[in-house]
Amino acid sequence: MPDHPAICWFRRDLRLADNAALTIAAGSGRPVICVYILDDETPGEWRMGGASRWWLHKSLEALDADLRKRHNRLILRRGRADKAISDLVAETGAEAVFWNRIYDPAEMERDRRIKAALKDRSLQAESFPGNLAHEPWVLRTGNDGPYRVFSPFRKALLALDPPGAPLRPPKGVGVPENWPESDELDDWNLLPVKPDWAGGLRESWTPGEAGAMARFEAFIEEGLDDYAKGRDHPAKPNVSRLSPHLHFGEISVRQLWAKMDWLEDQGTASVGKFRSEVIWREFSHHLLFHYPDLPERNWREQFNDFPWRDYPEGLKAWQRGMTGYPLVDAGMRELWHTGYMHNRVRMVAASFLIKHLLIHWKRGEEWFWDTLVDADLPNNAASWQWVAGSGADAAPYFRIFNPIKQGQDYDAKGGYIRRWVPELAELSDRSLHEPWNASEAELESAGVRLGETYPERIVDHAGARKRALTAYEEIRRG
């Protein structure tokens, strides 16, 4: 009966365009109840971290405003999603529930149960492909197994038909006669108050669908042409910074893909490289789908015997950007201030924690989970294991990023380090990457007092490198 509502359950698809669940709900002729459920209770899920909660608040505000322009609105519920959906169905007499998929293991399991329960009650329950170019189970190797290596995965993915054209936002979204009750967004306390540490996030980002599209367009204007080279230089404006928008589904991969196809036809440089990075995201989803304990367990079991150190002071120095290694500290401070860290620096900072300090990659994974606005289970887990050497297609363990040389190679003029470690700003470009080698006179004239205005190194690079390789040898020999 068309007057019985349909529920459109928003999750990580906080947009109106290219939203299959919303399009189908709107097209059904039923009144549409749009709902977001803050579910912190599903067993096994990774509860959203602080920076993600800030983003979520802002993104829900934007989505509600966009729905209100269409005379609809967003209903907010909190608690276990299975109960919240069941309650909403009972309260509204809804006969259909639609959603777009997410692929984190606990949520997939939960959604399967919800779908089965709705169907048992003879209700329509339909899910649609989520925010990937292709479902994570589609690709299989010649031996009918999952891919473990990126290059053949990428090749196979590019050989598939391209993802379908993105859908336009629905013109009209039916409105129910009576609205069910909704929580107040402010009551969810997603924004930090005491202290309010989100000033840097507010300066840096515009969450929501319009913000995502504006970011994408700015990247095409300013960054894409030189992306292939510039993407490695954290002071350059060549990366897209789309990761949080993609994570929350404010822009879809199908939208990116369609635009990339068009730009490629126009001969725009670097499109292939950018697409490759987006395929890394597909690969992480593929890995997590096939190896659901990737966020918790070493993919290579030999790492279970790795002699990790319990070193809380080292972990704290790393988290605060006080290791005495300027590039690492710049990255960790960028993360704290903006909720983002440039990819090159993520690799260096992660490698430093794991290899220079011998702290378990899971401590880094947890910190990133809490502080990144783009915290994303597949990408975060796969990337940490990649750096540790314990993952599929991982960097070999003996590849130990040299934080000094990485700074010299990728931030030669020091624009990035000077921005985030201003107490070193007056040093020469050379000394900026290794202030401990600067002369007394230079340190003095730059106002730097090691151990006072900027920390001494917490570990010596050459010694730490040797120690890490010895530890690795131990597990390699078994």
Whichever of 88 and 377 has its CB closer to ligand FAD, that residue is 377
CA–CA gap between residue 66 and residue 60 (Å, rounded): 10
Give the residue, chosen from 225, 343, 429, 457, that forms a contact with ligand FAD under the rule CB under 6 A: 343
Among 259, 4, 13, smallest CA distance to 128 is for: 13
Residue 323 within binding range of ligand FAD, rule CB under 6 A: no
The reply to whether 423 belongs to the active site is no
- Report, in Å, the least distance between residue 87 CB and ligand FAD: 32
Measured torsion, CA atoms of residues 423, 345, 382, 138, in degrees rounded to the nearest 10: 140
CA distance 245 to 207: 7
| Per-position DSSP letters for 126-137, written without gaps between them | EEE--SSSS-TT
Site string for ligand FAD, 212-251 (x = CB under 6 A): -------------------x-------xxxxx--xx----
Catalytic residue among 280, 366, 423, 442: 280
Question: 430 to 469, contacts with ligand FAD by CB under 6 A?
Answer: none
Between 27 and 146, name the residue whose CB sits nearer to ligand FAD.
146
- Binding-site member from 387, 388, 427, 438 for ligand FAD (CB under 6 A): 387
CA–CA distance, 86 with 116 (Å, rounded to integer): 12
Query: CB under 8 Å to 438, separation ≥6 — which residues?
Result: 427, 428, 431, 446, 448
d(CA 455, CA 316): 13
From 188, 197, 308, 436, the catalytic residue:
308
Our separate counts of H helices and E strands in the chain read 21, 5
Q: Of the two residues 241 and 433, which places its CB atom closer to ligand FAD in the complex? A: 241
Decide if residue 383 touches ligand FAD (CB under 6 A): yes
Query: Does residue 379 interact with ligand FAD by CB under 6 A?
Result: yes
Catalytic: 277? yes
Of these residues, 109, 277, 366, 426, which one is catalytic?
A: 277
What 3-state DSSP class applies to 360? coil
- CA 299/CA 288 separation, integer angstroms: 11
Tell me which stretch binds ligand FAD (CB under 6 A): 61-69, 150-158, 279-287, 432-440: 279-287
Instruction: Choose the binding region for ligand FAD from 59-67, 198-206, 257-265, 343-351 (rule: CB under 6 A).
Output: 343-351
Residues 380, 370: Cα–Cα separation, whole Å? 11
Reply yes or no on whether 54 is catalytic.
Answer: no
Residue with tokens 């078994």: 478
Q: Is 131 a catalytic residue?
A: no
Number of residues that bind ligand FAD (CB under 6 A): 27
97, two tokens: 């529930």
178 given a catalytic annotation: no
- Only one residue has tokens 């205005």, namely 453
Complex with ligand FAD: residue 26 or 56, whichever CB lies closer:
56
Q: Candidates 374, 406, 420, 446: give the one binding ligand FAD (CB under 6 A).
A: 374
Q: What b/e string do you get for 182-217 counting C-beta neighbours within 10 Å, with b at 16 or more?
A: eeebeebebbeeeeebbebbeebbebbbebbbebbe
Q: How far is it, in rounded angstroms, from Cα 279 to Cα 211?
A: 23
Q: Is 380 in the site for ligand FAD (CB under 6 A)?
A: yes
Work out whether 372 is an interface residue with ligand FAD (CB under 6 A).
yes
**Given 41, 45, 343, 426, which residue is catalytic?**
343
Q: Is 313 a catalytic residue?
A: no
Q: Which residues contact 363 (CB under 8 A, 6 or more apart)?
A: 315, 353
CA angle, residues 192, 197, 198, in degrees to nearest 5: 80
Residue 308 or 436 with smaller CB distance to ligand FAD: 308
> Can residue 346 be called a binding residue for ligand FAD (CB under 6 A)?
yes
CB atoms near residue 28 (< 10 Å) = 18
Contact code string over 283-302 relative to ligand FAD, x by CB under 6 A: -x------------------
Q: Does 103 bind ligand FAD (CB under 6 A)?
A: no
Q: Which of 347, 417, 421, 458 binds ligand FAD (CB under 6 A)?
A: 347
State residue 413 phi and psi, 5-degree precision: -85, -5
Kindly state whether residue 328 participates in binding ligand FAD, applying the rule CB under 6 A.
no
Minimum Å distance from CB 48 to ligand FAD?
12
Nearer residue to ligand FAD within complex by CB, 380 or 402:
380
Residue number, 260 or 443, with CB nearest to ligand FAD: 260
- Binding site residues, ligand FAD, CB under 6 A: 231, 239-243, 246-247, 277-278, 280-281, 284, 343, 346-347, 350, 368, 372, 374-376, 379-380, 383-384, 387
User: What are the catalytic residues?
Assistant: 277, 280, 308, 343, 361, 384
